[in-house]
Structure 1
Amino acid sequence: MQAIKSYNCVRCGNDFASQTALKHHFQTKHIGRVYCDKCGIEVLREKLKDHEQTVHYKDNTNKLTCEHPYWDEPLQREDKFVASEKSVSCRMCGRVFGTIHSREQHERQEHHFTASQRARMSTAFAPDSLLDLRHPQLLQKFMETYLRPEMGFVRMSCAGEVEKLIDLIQECCPTSVTRLIKGGSYFKGTDTRDWSDIDVVIFSSAFMSLDDCKEKIPYVLCDLENNLKLSVMANRILMEKKASLSLRFQFKCFKDLHIHHFDVMLCYDLLGSIPSQDVKRNLYRQLYNCGDEVKIQLYSISLLQYQVDFVKASTVGVKDLIRLIKHWFRTSLAKPTEANRYRRLPPSYAMELITIYVWQLAGKPIFFSFVQGLRAVLKLLVNCTDIFIVWFGHYDKTFNVVKKALQKQSRPFLLDPANPTFNICENSNSWDEVTHVARQSLLKPLLSGVQAKAPWLFTNKW
């Protein structure tokens, strides 16, 4: 049988059945658009300068400067809430393709991204890695000494400082505040001793609609930033680079002991404090059918409380296991270089949800071995192309939006428990690197030779 000929778009990698279809696609999708040198995204030629100023703005020194030398330059903050299908963008040049297969083929052919090169570029175990611990009993001590935030008076004082700042943010907000949501690792209980992020979403009645909100947000955030710079806590706040929908800064907490990384966002209140199931389903439909990237983020921001509640409901042991996984992630995978500057690792939210899922497969034990839990999560990451995770707390499998989401064949697949339009795994183009590092981690002293014990015996199938 003669093979059906296809016509490939050189810009995005999509295939078409005829030259006419390819020509129509190119004229409607690519004519007048250019690639951004910094992120590889296609934007309209006349919008390129606005895109660079909004998304890639930095000061003239190309780094954050501050009169406080003890504040490190902040780590790159991940985008929140919205899948942007980074999985189909090249790690080396940022070019976007139609499928993961075409992207990987391009990386091999154009950039010679072989398995050995991936191994070199992905792995960077820290000298004092927890994986080098020789006895499983030491993992509990490692958790208590280095990862779990200090408790008692320090934690209480920290909580007071954070709440005081959130009150100040409300006072400095140039619009009326009708409702406020608090999220991030700090409020989910998954923050570590060296990293704490806090999300604050402000809902205001000053926004008449989502379109009105989209138009006013840049000006409101600018005024809020200026007000905070003039506030009584100004000397404890370090503003970070501009983001399109949030005000980002670091806050020096109790007795200068640590830093909290804040994201302050504004939104039109689409749901209200206690929405009905019909109201949520209507939001999901609007979100699924929306083609405006800014509006998609605003829709998704409204669901923050449900994302926080899902993780927050986990036991103390699970949250400690999440801390271990986050620490492993930060100290085992290499930082991107100039050669692979478009690499995008999975977000920490994905690691949180995968850890919770593995714990649930074990029967939700209250007490368990951290070594067994860590081993189970890493074994799942080794087989990440088989990941297919869905929760039905806020939506059910008969809902049409969910049906359409489940029809996608992309793997790994991790559907946000609060948002049926959001496959969190689409935010990364480096799952193969995560798999490689997880496989190497299982050979380290802490985990080498460890056998599964009840209730983790299901991991023997992975």
Structure 2
Amino acid sequence: MWALKSYNCERCGSDFISGRALKYHFQQKHLGEVHHEKCNQAVLREMQQGHSESTRDRSTMETHKLHWENLEERNVKYMATKISKTCRMCSRHFGTVLSRENHEIQEHHFTARKRAQMSAGFSPHNMLECKGPQELRRFADRNICPASGSQRAACAAEVGALILLIQASFPVPASRVIQGGSYVKGTDIQGSSEIDIVLLSKASPDVNHFKKQLRDGLETLRENLKRTAYGNRILMGRRTPLSLRFSFLCTGSLHSHSFEIIAYYDVLGPTPSTDLKRRLYRRLYLGEDSDEAQLWALALLPHQVDFVKASVLRLKELIRLVRHWLRTSFASPTEENKFRRLPSSYSLELLTIYIWERAEKPLSFSLLQGMRAVLKLLVQYADINVVWHRHYHRKFPIFVKVNQKHTRPFILDPVNPTVNVCDTCNAWDEVAHVAKLSLRKPLFSGVRAEPPWLFTDAW
């Protein structure tokens, strides 16, 4: 069967059946426009200088937003509409994933061979070199599972004391403190423990003034923490407009936690009604201010944490294996592909939960079989289509609109019907390639699907 050739507009991502149609479209829509690199927008040539001046002050903040990685609620409208269609090599934004991929091939010669060279980077001693489930279990106990027993208790005591100190050192009274991150959800691994703290205060009549007050408060908090008894064990990270980052060395300097702190006013309150949450969803869906959207979504963090935290112990062990695989199987980005974005830990946590649910939620299962199932689905990433309805009804208008226009892979945030968490990644083809190579490693040699994972035979 003959395939029709399509002509793609790299300016907006639209497809046309002929070169003449594309030329007409370009003359009508884009003639006289130039691409403004800092904001990835098309601007009339005569307006370019004024546009540059108006966006110069925002450029630093936009750069920071591209590097936000930790908080689950950062997977909101800005991230979901920008990252997946952003070039891995030059960060240009396109209207469709297809137009972005065509650009990468034509402008950067990003061929399949080049992708293979730049994607895989297996660490010398990773779990994929294990031979059999027993060796995998020993490897996980030694290298992946976090500390337990008295060391875990001592760690929890120090983290709890630091969180109370953060709340006391923040100059604006916090009406509520919510916590997130892998440490709180119980999915942390050795050497990778994230703790997210959101300080929520009651709204002021002048919201813009209140936002500035809270952001200024983060700078004061930075200085206050340096002067506390914990100051010599806190290593401050780079400054960002909306958050404070630092690493905290704990429990006899044996390990550290990565903290990220954000402050905002309490949009929903501790016990939001269904109508209040629906109003928030509409604001997230219709809002054009990406800063506002990211801050509004902070109120959903407790529900995101609870969704993962409710997992059974065995499932959390599988999630740790998946997180470890993500850390130890990919090549680090180079100067050439520095805008590559791999899947967030949150998106892979949700994918693992979905796989477990497909297996009918076994309380006990083979970690080897579960890991194999996750990798096989990642190879078929274009078939991923996952939706939960615990927080919004199937006929909820915003869900219907988002679901109608979604692209694959598609994992809808279980507590936010406006966000496909897969859209924070612009390298799913690389993920599939590394997953395929992983399945050829010694760990999976000769392994076949067993109950309750027989459904993976179709993948």
Amino acid at match of 2:57: D
1:283 matched residue in structure 2: 280
2:337 matched residue in structure 1: 340
Amino acid at match of 2:385: F
Counting only pairs closer than 5 Å after superposition, residues 18-97 of structure 1 correspond to structure 2 as 26=30, 34-36=36-38, 44-54=51-61, 56=63, 77-78=69-70, 80-82=74-76, 83-84=79-80, 85-97=82-94
TM-score of the superposed pair, with normalisation by structure 1: 0.89
Change (3 A) 1:22 1:322: same
CA distance in 2, matches of 1:210, 1:351: 35
1:436 matched residue in structure 2: 433
CA distance in 2, matches of 1:367, 1:134: 21
1:230 matched residue in structure 2: 227
Give a deviation string over 1:361-413, Cα, whole Å, max 9, x none: 00111110010000000000000100000011111110000001101241000
Counting only pairs closer than 5 Å after superposition, residues 233-248 of structure 1 correspond to structure 2 as 233-248=230-245
3-state DSSP of counterpart to 2:443 = coil
1:250 matched residue in structure 2: 247
Which of 190, 194, 201 matches 2:191?
194
1:64 matched residue in structure 2: none
Counting only pairs closer than 5 Å after superposition, residues 302-321 of structure 1 correspond to structure 2 as 302-321=299-318
Amino acid at match of 2:36: V
Change (3 A) 1:52 1:289: closer
Amino acid at match of 1:88: K
The Cα shift of 1:199 comes to 0.5
Where in structure 1 are there 5+ consecutive unaligned residues? 58-74
Return structure 1 stretches of 4+ with deviation > 3 angstroms: 3-8, 10-28, 39-44, 51-57, 75-79, 206-217
**Structure 2 residue 347 is the aligned partner of structure 1 residue 350:** yes
CA distance in 2, matches of 1:41, 1:313: 42
3-state DSSP of counterpart to 1:259 = strand
Change (3 A) 1:425 1:42: farther
The Cα shift of 1:231 comes to 2.2
Change (3 A) 1:6 1:213: farther
Amino acid at match of 1:308: V
Amino acid at match of 1:159: A
Aligned 8 A contact 1:267 1:302 in 2: no
TM-score of the superposed pair, with normalisation by structure 2: 0.89
Matched residue pairs, number? 438
Of 197-206 and 177-186, more deviation after overlay is shown by 197-206
Aligned 8 A contact 1:41 1:95 in 2: no
1:135 matched residue in structure 2: 132
Bigger proportion of residues as helix: 2
Give a deviation string over 1:245-304, Cα, whole Å, max 9, x none: 111111111111111101101121111101111111111111111010001101111100
Change (3 A) 1:99 1:7: closer
Amino acid at match of 2:332: K
CA distance in 1, matches of 2:391, 2:242: 25
Give a deviation string over 1:151-178, Cα, whole Å, max 9, x none: 1111111111111111111111110110
Aligned 8 A contact 2:13 2:94 in 1: yes
**Structure 2 residue 338 is the aligned partner of structure 1 residue 327:** no
3-state DSSP of counterpart to 1:88 = coil
Aligned 8 A contact 1:125 1:332 in 2: yes
Of 190-199 and 240-249, more deviation after overlay is shown by 240-249
2:161 matched residue in structure 1: 164
CA distance in 1, matches of 2:179, 2:70: 18
The Cα shift of 1:140 comes to 1.3
The Cα shift of 1:181 comes to 0.3
Change (3 A) 1:42 1:4: closer
**Structure 2 residue 378 is the aligned partner of structure 1 residue 371:** no
Give a deviation string over 1:89-135, Cα, whole Å, max 9, x none: 11111111110111111111111111111111001111112111112
3-state DSSP of counterpart to 1:245 = coil
Which of 184, 187, 202 matches 2:181?
184
1:453 matched residue in structure 2: 450
Amino acid at match of 1:265: I
CA distance in 1, matches of 2:221, 2:14: 43
3-state DSSP of counterpart to 2:291 = helix
The Cα shift of 1:81 comes to 3.1
**Structure 2 residue 100 is the aligned partner of structure 1 residue 103:** yes
The Cα shift of 1:232 comes to 2.4
3-state DSSP of counterpart to 2:57 = helix
Where in structure 2 are there 5+ consecutive unaligned residues? 44-50
Of 168-177 and 17-26, more deviation after overlay is shown by 17-26
3-state DSSP of counterpart to 1:330 = helix
The Cα shift of 1:86 comes to 1.0
Change (3 A) 1:24 1:300: farther
1:125 matched residue in structure 2: 122
1:155 matched residue in structure 2: 152
**Structure 2 residue 402 is the aligned partner of structure 1 residue 395:** no
3-state DSSP of counterpart to 2:248 = strand
1:204 matched residue in structure 2: 201
Change (3 A) 1:423 1:249: same
The Cα shift of 1:233 comes to 1.6
Which of 365, 378, 388 matches 1:381?
378
Aligned 8 A contact 2:6 2:15 in 1: no
2:46 matched residue in structure 1: none
The Cα shift of 1:21 comes to 7.2
3-state DSSP of counterpart to 1:256 = coil
